Amino acid sequence: MNRSKLHLVFLAMASTAAAQNPAGQITGLVTDPSGAAVPGAAVEVVHIETGSRWQAATSTAGYYTVTLLPPGGYSVTARHQGFKSVSRSGITLVVAQTARIDFALEVGGVTETIAVRAEAPLLESQSAALGQIVESRVINDLPLNGRNYLALARLSAGVAEPRRGDVGSLGGSFVANGVRAQLNNYNLDGADNNTRIVDIQNRSHEVIQPSVDAVQEFKVETSNYSAEYGYSAGAVVNATIKSGTNGFHGSVFEFVRNNHFDARNFFQRPSDRQAILQRNQFGGTAGGRIARDKLFFFSSWERTVENRGLTITTTVPTEALRRGDFTGERPIFDPATTRANPAGAA
């Protein structure tokens, strides 16, 4: 069995906007030293890895919101005439997150800047959704039989294994809050990734199942998720593919399984040849820039090659049995000795 999959993504980002979903957003309140709102303050959000910039201004109530932000590291700067500029860095935005970053401006010149390094708050107060983020490091470091990132979704609260015999179980399906696996909603970079009917070849509920090394992170939401995910009664899975950055990066991998590492079939005789198993999963990723701070690329390629043998152990009748002569034959189970006859009917 040979199976290959190739993902090639070109991502263009202008200095004012970036269209990539599932998007996160940064919001907050800008105040003066007395705690009063500062309307009309300029807020600039910078994506560290790509240098992309978003501009916003506070409302009359002092609030600002910047949407359509891809996951990654950010710095946010707030400035207004008559106040010192305040810049906050070290902010990491995860998939589908709404991070609140507030600013308290101090009186001074605009040319003066106060630099603050602070992470986004762990408690997401802007949303009531319940879920779990699985980051790239966890996806790459934890062992995955079959290398399907959805297997890690089963570590989330309220998620369980599918029922025995579920055709989609090998494709990573799971049951959330007791709802059938067919009612989960899968999104890849904001696009609908549901097959609506199980893919017979891959036994998956996803149209595209990306390589583990290509997934940046994903979020499993099991309750109180936004009305925009109105398709499902089960969980919502938002996955995002890695993108290119100003720096070049990539990876190469190969995972091997073969019969040299496997135990023999319990029913095989010592003289029998062990069943063949040769399974190789290999590939790599590469990303970088085409035009600095403007145009980026990311590609992922993976192939699976498998050669598998199957050992079948059975019992055939002797020549005497074929003629209808059962003389001297013992049953497979002898009540007199209360043990199974290892020789069977032979």
Q: What is the CATH number of the domain that holds 203?
A: 2.170.130.10
Q: Does 112 share its domain with 145?
A: no
Single out the residue in 192, 207, 241 at which a domain terminates. 241
Residues 6+ apart with CB under 8 A from 109: 84
Residue 309: pLDDT band (50, 70, 90) is confident
Residues 102 and 162 in one domain: no
Query: Is there a single domain that holds both residue 112 and residue 146?
Result: no
Q: Could you give the dihedral angle defined by the CA atoms of residues 260, 265, 269 and 272, in that order, rounded to the nearest 10 degrees?
A: -50
Contact 87, 113 (CB under 8 A): yes
Report if residue 256 sits inside a domain.
no
* 233 and 150 within one domain: yes
* Overall average pLDDT of the 200-212 stretch: 79
Which of 192, 220, 241 is at the close of a domain? 241
Note whether residue 142 is domain-resident: yes
Q: Is the pTM of this model over 0.85?
A: no
- 162 and 214 assigned to the same domain: yes
Task: Report whether pLDDT(150) > 80.
Answer: yes
Identify the bridge partners of residue 91 per DSSP, sorted by sequence position.
74
Instruction: Clarify whether residues 100 and 39 are in a common domain.
Output: yes
Domain that holds residue 331: 315-346
- The pLDDT of residue 12 is above 90: no
- Boundary residue ending a domain (241, 266, 284): 241
Residue 157 resides in a domain: yes
| Interval 209-233 mean pLDDT | 82
* Interatomic CA distance for residues 152 and 134, integer angstroms: 8
Number of domains in the chain: 3
- Residue 282: inside a domain: no
Contact residues for 304 (Cβ-Cβ < 8 A; gap 6+): 1, 2, 3, 4, 279, 280, 281
Residue 65 shares a structural domain with residue 156: no
Q: Same domain for 78 and 156?
A: no
Domain-embedded: residue 163: yes
Quick one: 142 and 226 in the same domain?
Answer: yes
Q: What distance, in Å, lies between the first and last C-alpha atoms of the chain?
A: 38
Q: Same domain for 112 and 134? A: no
The answer as to whether 100 is a domain residue is yes
134 with 214, same domain: the answer is yes
**Any domain includes 252:** no
In terms of pLDDT, which residue wins out, 301 or 313? 301
Whether 286 is in a domain gets the answer no
CA distance 77 to 103: 9
pLDDT at 166 over 90: no
192 shares its domain with 97: no
Per-residue pLDDT for 316 more than 90? no
Res. 169: pLDDT tops 80: no
What pLDDT band is residue 4 in, cutting at 50, 70 and 90? low
- Tell me which range, 4-13, 225-234, 262-271, 281-290, is most confidently predicted by mean pLDDT: 281-290
62, pLDDT greater than 90: yes
